[in-house]
Chain A
C-alpha cells in the first residue's frame, strides 16, 4: 500500500558515530532537554543520561538512585539486582539505545564500561483517566471509554476477555512517528485470513507521521474513494470485546482512543452497542427507527425539491394550499432554498463541533431557533422545508457510528442536485448508483452489504432487528469464524454462553 510514497523518504535516527559514548555525548547538542550527569555514590561514580522531558524524575530517584547510594555494587549486574526497576537491559547497540531513550528510558554508564550502557525504564506517565464515552454514549451499559495510552486500552480489553486465546500483535508504523499499533484477535475464532490481511496491510503502510488508528484505517481500507466508512470505529471496550467474540479483528494505535474493527458491514455501522443491552423488542424498534431515519434523512429534502420542481400532481390536495402558501413569498427555486437551509444546518453542526461544549450548545439553540425562524420570516425559505430539513438533520444524528453519520449527511447533497435536475427520476438514478456502489464495496475483502448481498438469511438475526439471544447461537458467517457455535458443547441447561 504505497499511498504516500515519497520520492525521498526521510531516514530517522542514523547515528553517525559508531562509538556509543561519543554518540551519547553528541546527543545533547541539538536536544536541549537531553541531560547528562555524573552521580556520585559511596561505591563510585556513574554517568546517567536521559531526556528530562520523558522521564519520571521521582521514579528515577526513588527506584534507581536511592538503592544505588545505599547498596554496594560493582557491575551492571549488581545494579540490575539492586534497583527497584524491572525493565532494564544492558546493550551496546546504538539504534536500540536511541529508541529506548526516546521511549523514556534512562541510560547509565559505568566509567570502566564505555562500550555498554544500562537502560532503565522510568517513563513519565502522562495519562488521561478512563472516562465516559463521549461519541458513543449509552444510557445503560458500561461507562468507560478508551484513552490515548495503548497499555491502558489493552488492559481494558484483556479485562473483558480473560482468555489466553486473545492474541495481541504489536507493530510499529510510520517512519517518523513509529506509532505503536496493536492488532487483536481471538485465536480459534477469528479467520486467519482476516488477521493476515490486516497485519499485512498495516505492515505495508509507508508514511512518516501516522496520526493514529483513524488515519491508519483510511490508509488500509479496501476502497479509498468512497464516502462510506469500511471499518467500525469505536471508543467502547465492550464493543471491541463483542466484536472479537464474533470473530472480527481489531486494531488500536498508541495515542488514539479509538479502536478500528474489521471486517464490517453496512448494518453494523448503524448498530449501537446499546442494542445489545436493551431488551430485544426495544432494541429492534430502535434499530428500525435508525434505519428508517437514515432513509428519511437522505431522501426527505430531495423529494421535497423534486415534487415542488417537477411533480406538482403528486401533492395531496389537502397539502396543496399549505405548500403553495409557504412557498409563495420565496424568490428562489426549491433547489436554492433547500441548499441554503442544508448549508445553514451544516454550518451550525460544524460550528457546534468546533466550539467548546457550552458555547456549542448556545450556537445550536441560537442557530436552530433564531436563524430558522428569521429566514422563514424574511421569506428566504418556506417553513415546511425548515421542518423537513431540521428533521432530516435530526435523523442523521441517530446514527451511532460518527463516521457513518457524516456519510449520511454528505450523501444528501448529490441527491438534492440530482432531484433538482431530473426530478424523481434523478432520485431513482442516484439511489441505483448508491446501491450499485454499496454492492461493490468490500471491507477487508468481505462483502460490505452482507447479509443482504450476498443473501445470508441466518445473519439477518442481527440486522433490521436484533432477535433475542437464544437465536444468537452461531457467529455471523460474514467473518468466516473458525468455530461457529457460540454455545459450549455441554448440554447443561444453565450454560447459555453469551459473549456479549
Chain B
C-alpha cells in the first residue's frame, strides 16, 4: 500500500515535466488573423501580434505583422513560427478576417478549424474584407500599436450602440448549419488609410453571395432581432421642403406572425420602434405633437418600404438571413430544406407593419 502510494505520488510529480508551460511573456499571442487568396489553391495568412520591447524599467508595446502562404491554418502557424522570435499561439485571437475571394469559395473549413481549437473562444468576431486583408490589417501610426484591439472594438461597439447586427463565430456557425437561416458577417473595407465598416455580407451556406450597405443594415438589424440602439437619418417633407431628422433607436421589438400557409406562406412582420429624435434640420417644431405624428408616419412608411424592398431582394438572391425558414420549419412536419429554398421561400409573402413611436426629442430650453 505504501509502495503504491509512493509510486502514484512520484508519477504525479514526475509527469508534470511532460506538461508544456506556456508562460504568457514567453509566447507571442496572435490577436487578428487575416486570410486571403493567393494563387491557385494557396492561401495567404496574415497575423498580427503584440510584443514588448524591454527598455530598462519601461517596456514598450509594439505590433508586428507577418504573412505566410499555406493551405491550412495550423500549417500556417507552424510556418509563421519559423519566422517568429517566440512561439506563436492562437489563444488570444479576437478577429478573423476573410478576403472576399476566399469567402466566395466557402468559409466552412477555415472557421471550423478555428472552432475546433479549444483555446479559441466561440465569441470571437469573424468579418469579411472588401479587398486584401493583408492591406486592411496594416494600419498606420498609433493605430498600428492597438491593432489587436482595434478591429474587435470596432465591431463590438457598432453591434452594441450602432447598426451592425449581432454576430460572432458561434452565431455564424449556428446560422450556417441551420436549414432555415443564412449567415451574415460584417463587411470591412479600407478607405485611404482608415478601415471602416461598410455593411453586411450575405452568405448562402458558407459562400459569400452579396452585401447590403449601412442603411440597409440598419433596417436589417431591426427586422432580424430588434435592437436597443442604432441611429439613422431619414428625410421628411416639411412645408414643401426636404428636411432631415435623425432618429435614435431606444427599443425595437419585432414579431413574425404566420398569416396563412397555403399555397405559399404569408407573414405579418410587426415592427415596433421606440425612438428619440436627436437631431433635425430646418424648422420642425418638435413641441408640436401634430408634427411629431407626421414624422412618425412618414418615417414609418419609409422603413416599411425599405424593409419590403430588402426582403424582396433576399428572396431574389435566395438567401434567408432573416430566418423565415426557421419560422416555417418550426410548424412543419416533414420539413424539406431544398423544397423550401427552391420553391417556397421565393414565393413567400410578407407584410411589414411599422409602428414608430417618438418618445422624446431631447431636452428643450
Binding site for B on A (CB under 8 A): 307-310, 312-313, 315, 317-318, 320-321, 323-325, 327-330, 333-334, 377, 379, 421-423
Is B27 a contact of A312 with CB atoms below 8 Å?
yes
Interchain CB contact under 8 A, A312 and B59: no
Residues on B with C-beta less than 8 A from A320 are 29, 50, 92, 148
Specify the chain B residue showing the minimal Cβ separation from A377: B57
Answer whether A310 and B22 are a contact pair too, CB < 8 Å, given A321-B61, A325-B52. yes
**B95 vs chain A, min Cβ distance (A):** 10
B19 within 8 A of A: yes
Please tell me if the beta carbons of A317 and B91 are within 8 angstroms of each other in the complex: no
Shortest A319–chain B CB gap in Å is 11
**Are B16 and A315 touching (Cβ within 8 A)?**
no
Is the CB–CB distance between A324 and B25 below 8 Å? yes
Tell me whether B23 and A333 are in contact (CB under 8 A).
Answer: yes
Q: Binary interface profile of B, 21-42, with partner A (CB < 8 Å = 1, else 0)?
A: 1111101010100000000000
Which of B16, B24, B89, B121 is A323 in contact with, Cβ under 8 Å? B24
Interfacial chain A residues near B94, Cβ < 8 Å: 317
Per the bound structure, the CA–CA distance linking A321 and B29 in Å amounts to: 10
Given A312-B27, A313-B121, A320-B92, A329:B59 Cβ within 8 A = yes
Task: Return 11 A-B CB contacts under 8 Å, by A number.
Answer: A307-B24, A312-B91, A312-B92, A315-B92, A324-B29, A324-B52, A329-B59, A377-B57, A421-B19, A422-B19, A423-B19
**A313–B24 CB distance below 8 A:** no
> Contact: B24 with A422, CB < 8 Å?
no
Q: Pick the residue among B16, B61, B119, B148 that contacts A313 (CB under 8 A).
A: B119
Contact of A329 with B23 at beta-carbon distance under 8 Å, contacts A312-B91, A313-B91, A315-B92 already known: no
- The reply to whether B52 and A379 contact each other, CB–CB distance below 8 Å, is no
Chain B residues positioned under 8 Å from A423 (CB to CB): 19
Contact B149 A315 (CB under 8 A): no
Q: Which of A308, A317, A377 lies in contact with B24, CB distance below 8 A?
A: A308
Give the docked Cα–Cα distance between A377 and B56 (Å).
10
Q: Which 7 A-B pairs have the closest CB atoms?
A: A313-B91, A328-B52, A421-B16, A327-B25, A313-B119, A328-B59, A308-B24
- Indicate if B54 sits at the interface (CB-CB under 8 A): yes
> What would 6 more interface pairs be, CB under 8 Å, given A309-B23, A317-B149?
A313-B92, A317-B152, A321-B61, A324-B50, A329-B59, A421-B16
Closest Cβ of chain A: how far from B154's Cβ, in Å?
13
Minimal Cβ-Cβ distance residue in B for A310: B22
| Chain A residue contacts of B24, Cβ below 8 A | 307-309, 312, 315, 323-324, 327
Contact of B25 with A309 in the complex, beta carbons under 8 Å: no
Residue of A nearest to B50 (CB): A321
Q: Which residues of A contact B7 (CB under 8 A)?
A: none
How far does the alpha carbon of A327 sit from the alpha carbon of B61 in the complex, in Å? 12
Provided the pairs A328-B59, A377-B57, A422-B16 are in contact, do residues A333 and B119 lie with their beta carbons within 8 angstroms? no
Instruction: Give the distance in Å from the alpha carbon of A422 to the alpha carbon of B20 in the complex.
Output: 10
Measured between beta carbons, the chain B residues less than 8 angstroms from A377 are: 57
B120 lies within 8 A of chain A by Cβ: yes
Residues facing A in B132-156 (CB within 8 A) are 148-149, 152
Q: A320-B92, A324-B52, A327-B24 are in contact. Are A312 and B57 (CB under 8 A)?
A: no
Q: Which residues of A contact B89 (CB under 8 A)?
A: 312
A328 touches B119 (CB 8 A): no
Nearest CB in chain A: distance from B51 CB, A: 8
User: Complex Cα distance A323/B136, Å?
Assistant: 27
For window 45-69 of B, CB contacts with A under 8 Å fall at 50, 52, 54, 57, 59, 61
Determine how close the nearest CB of chain A comes to the CB of B168; give it in whole angstroms: 14
Q: Given A312-B29, A421-B13, A421-B16, are A325 and B21 also a contact pair (CB < 8 Å)?
A: no
Contact with A310, one of B21, B31, B50, B57 (Cβ below 8 angstroms):
B21
In the complex, the answer to whether B52 meets A317 with C-beta atoms within 8 Å is: no
Q: A379–B59 Cα gap in the complex (Å)?
A: 11
Instruction: Judge whether B25 and A330 touch: CB under 8 Å.
Output: yes
Question: Among A318, A323, A421, which residue has the most Cβ atoms of chain B within 10 A?
Answer: A421
Give CA–CA (A308, B91) in the complex, Å. Answer: 13
Query: Do A313 and B52 contact each other (CB < 8 Å), given the known contacts A327-B24, A327-B25?
Result: no
From A382, which residue of chain B is reached at the shortest CB distance? B25
Report the separation of the CA atoms of residues A303 and B178 in the bound assembly, to the nearest whole angstrom: 39
Bound-complex Cα distance A312 to B27 (A): 9
Which residue in chain B gives the minimum CB-CB distance to A316? B92
Q: Please give me the residue from chain B that is nearest to A429 by CB atom.
A: B12
Are B21 and A333 interface neighbours, CB within 8 A? Answer: yes
CB closest residue in chain A, given B20:
A310
**Measured between alpha carbons, how far is A309 from B21 in the docked complex, in Å?**
6
Candidate in A318, A328, A422 with the most chain B CB atoms within 10 angstroms: A328
Query: From A425, which residue of chain B is reached at the shortest CB distance?
Result: B19
Please report the C-alpha to C-alpha distance between residue A329 and residue B59 in the assembled complex, in whole angstroms: 8
With A317-B94, A321-B50, A329-B54 known as contacts, the answer to whether A309 contacts B59 (CB < 8 A) is no
Residues of A within 8 A of B13 (CB): 421
Closest residue of chain B to A332, judged by CB? B23
Q: When chains A and B are docked, how far (Å) is the Cα of A330 from the Cα of B152? A: 29
Q: How far is the CA of A313 from the CA of B50 in the complex (A)?
A: 15
| Given A310-B22, A324-B25, A329-B59, also A317-B92 (CB < 8 A) | yes
In this complex, what residue of B is CB-closest to A379? B57
